[in-house]
Amino acid sequence: MCICINCRYVKKCSIYKLIEQQHSIVAHNKDCEFIPTQAIITINILSKNAYRDWDVVECLSFIEEPGKWLNSY
Ligand code: SF4
């Protein structure tokens, strides 16, 4: 699971915007000026159709704020 959903910066993070784009989700975070430090992304290939699941699994900028993603939009 992507750790970004519980991160204080999810609403304005440039890396999370990339994750949304890779999931073909319309990017909600228009103001994505925040550049995190050492975000590590894993990409799992889930099918022959090359569906890929992108997740941030580590990030030095992460500050826990449970449910931030749900409360952001
Ligand atoms: S965990 Fe890192 S990459 Fe994800 S929203 Fe927070 S700062 Fe951005």
Q: Is residue 59 within 6 Å of ligand 1 at its C-beta?
A: yes
Q: pLDDT tens digit string along 16-71?
A: 999 988 877 666 666 789 999 999 999 988 877 777 889 999 999 999 999 888 87
Note the pTM of the prediction, 2 decimals.
Answer: 0.84
Residues 6-12, mean pLDDT to the nearest whole number: 94
In the prediction, which pLDDT does 31 show? 77
Total number of domains constituting the chain = 1
Q: Which of 1, 2, 4, 65 to mutate to test the pocket of ligand 1 (most atoms within 8 A of CB)?
A: 4
Q: Is the CB of 32 under 6 A from ligand 1?
A: no
* 19 CB within 6 A, ligand 1: no
Burial class (CB in 10 A: 0-12, 13-18, 19+), 48: exposed
- CA 18 to chain centroid: 7
**20: domain range?**
3-65
Rounded-to-integer distance, Cα 13 and Cα 7, Å: 10
